[in-house]
Homo-oligomer: A and B are copies of this chain.
Amino acid sequence: MATGAQALLQTLVGAGVTTCFTNPGTSEMHFVAALDQVPEMRAVLTLFEGVATGAADGYARMTGRPAATLLHLGPGLGNGLANLHNARRARVPLLNIIGDHATYHVPFDAQLQSDIETVARNVSPHWVRTATSPLTLTRDATDAIAAACGPPPRIATLIVPADVSWGEDAEPAQPLPLATAPSAASSAIDDIRDVLGAGHRTALLLGGAALHGPALRTAGRIAAATGAKLFAEVFPARIERGAGLPQVERIAYFAEMVTAQLAGFQHLVLVDATAPVSFFGYPGKKSYLVPDGCRVHQLCHDTDDVATSLAALADAVGASGQPPTGQTTPGQPPSGRAPASPQPVHVRPGHGPLTADSVCRTVAALLPHGAIVSDEALTSGSTFAAASAGAQPHDVLTLAGGAIGQGLPVAVGAAIACPDRPVIALEADGSAMYTIQSLWTMAHENLDITVVILNNRSYGILNVELQRVQASAAGPRSAAQLDLGNPNLDFVSLGTGLGVPSVRSTTTLEFAAQLANALAEPGPHLIEAVIPQVFTGRKLRALPYALRAMESLPAPLAKAVKRRIAP
């Protein structure tokens, strides 16, 4: 005879949900107790709910499967909300399990009572349910898992009152059959085949599932066969990159750069992506960034299978036997991972002070084969993409929903998902502070993660944005709101305090040596790279004008300007 919690855990592991990122409280104690009965469930304790939700996101990005979170009532969900927002935008499968007061206790409006379902709808608009009985709890759970797995993958939130957890006579439920995603409609494939064959300037904009695995390689073959350009959405959940992989240019953060990137294209084919829009709205600037006159086509719907749809398109354009574009040389096998042939990355280790660029180049140069890079370096990481284009094959996980504080948690989840792959978190100082508690879980679970904190002692991006929104009256009191100095954050102390071996580097030589050490040794490490801001002084003042000017420049010239301001 099982409690609701025991049957719930058995149901989860039976359906393949075998990892749970937790921050439990009293209402989740039966779930916690049941861990001893269901050893197939790995419960990863976090010290803050945003770590748990971000880790579940990172896990799903790397496995395609949902992890569970275990959160404590409305406030616990609140703390996890920002990274659930990122997970929603990353379009990953994820299952929240939120403990609640016992059903009969709710009317008494005790201190922790709040409207959990309402909060959950922000991140989980398609599936929120409060369980009502231990007898139906496990069916609720299989419904939730089915909703999470999709297609399309989504966040499902199951609220479990304490008495439903501790109630008896519950039985595990069999997993529901996974829905299979169909291929794109043949009309869409025919339309896009005609576009690709017409000799117009055409780009494929890849997002979501199109940026890794067989789908990415198929897209590369289509590009090679048709001459189409490959773009990636601005903040991909997961993009496979490096030597032997199709080269895909990421849509830029700054709207003006996007305008330059897309200038001259007559057709834009969306593959599991949406048409590019500005990250923020700015006074007098466009939000929708597809050039006038450029026709937008959509290969498939979010319920379609992306890899199959791309394969059908490749067949239609006769690209199936083609090698993908990029560094791959002709004659390589058309499917599967191409053999690595990393291009040397130019980095000059020296005793000069570190810069954001030298950090990015050094990381790119030392990137191990198969590394996973959780990139939340923002302004300081702007040169990493270029530096690592020819590096060892790797995955990059980015800030899908724009809510900073996801880089370290996503690294945790990726490391749990892929224990045999090294994880590198490229992390900005400001962003790191939202979920710094992640470091403790890295140490607690002895995860093979190297955290590189790019510490420029400011909210660097806001220095740029303050100018870009034309808040011209800004003075010292507003500047103080963007300044992370006084006192300086000491990430070596913070890392040490959370149990992660931590060092500081101030020269490129030092950084290269420390990074090599960290990568050679298993378990977590932290390197604090103290660097100047990327956009300061003359460069910062010139930025808005340069960006604005780009919109009216011919594409090649705009590209040159782009390289100069964010090389």
Contact = CB atoms under 8 A, between A and B. Distances in A.
A32 B499 contact: no
Contacts of A282: 102
Given A81-B75, A436-B436, A499-B488, A30 B278 contact: no
B105 A287 contact: yes
A135 interface: no
Interface in A256-305: 274, 277-283, 287-288
Interface string A229-258: 000001100000000000000000000000
Contacts of A462: 24-26, 29
A122 B115 contact: yes
A234 B108 CA distance: 15
Interface bin, chain A: 35 or more
Interface stretch (A193-201, A322-330, A466-474): A466-474
Interface in A484-526: 484, 486-499
Contact of A36 (B88, B105, B468, B475): B475
A448 to B, nearest CB: 16
A215 interface: no
A112 interface: yes
A171 interface: no
Nearest to A24: B481
A561 interface: no
B26 A280 contact: yes
A405 B79 contact: yes
A191 B100 CA distance: 38
A389 to B, nearest CB: 24
Contacts of A499: 487-490
30 contacts: A26-B461, A29-B465, A36-B477, A36-B478, A47-B430, A74-B85, A78-B79, A78-B82, A81-B119, A85-B114, A104-B287, A110-B278, A110-B402, A111-B402, A112-B402, A114-B122, A115-B122, A118-B118, A163-B281, A163-B283, A166-B470, A433-B437, A433-B440, A440-B489, A444-B486, A487-B498, A488-B499, A490-B497, A493-B494, A494-B494
